[in-house]
Amino acid sequence: QVQLVESGGGLVQPGGSLRLSCAASGLTLDYYAISWFRQVPGKEREGVACIGGSADNPFYADSVKGRFTISRDYVTKTVNLQMNSLQPEDTAIYHCATDRNAGAPFCAIVPDYMKLWGQGTPVNVSS
């Protein structure tokens, strides 16, 4: 069964950091653009960051630019989201997703483009 699994969420104080990971079973993440989204209950899903198959063209939403970094780990076969300077407004369920377009060099943070989603990992930024 093909699936994405996120990990690394938790409770952190404002100004703190977390590192989320996205792993896959049934497909090799190296070949796919991967995007991170977040969602707060009652609000629309928001695109956060993405990385294309070439791994040298990350894209960030303005709300996280300069604080979040997306990267690939070719050893662990994961896509990671390093989140620094976290603020209460970053509190959400974070999901990774892919459009399953193998080899595509570019990425997007448009939910409708995604074909496979993980179940999400919660991030709670609170003092």
pLDDT digits (tens, 9 = 90+) for 96-121: 999 988 878 889 999 999 999 999 99
Predicted local distance difference test score (pLDDT) of residue 38: 98
> What is the phi/psi pair of residue 90, to 5°?
-85, -5
Structure-token match 């989201």, residue found: 81
Residue 55 pLDDT class (50, 70, 90 cuts) = low
Q: What is the mean pLDDT of residues 35-55?
A: 92
Burial class (CB in 10 A: 0-12, 13-18, 19+), 112: exposed
Both tokens of 100, joined, read: 């399953």
Name the CA radius of gyration of the chain, rounded: 13
Distance CA 62, CA 67 (A): 10
Predicted local distance difference test score (pLDDT) of residue 113: 94
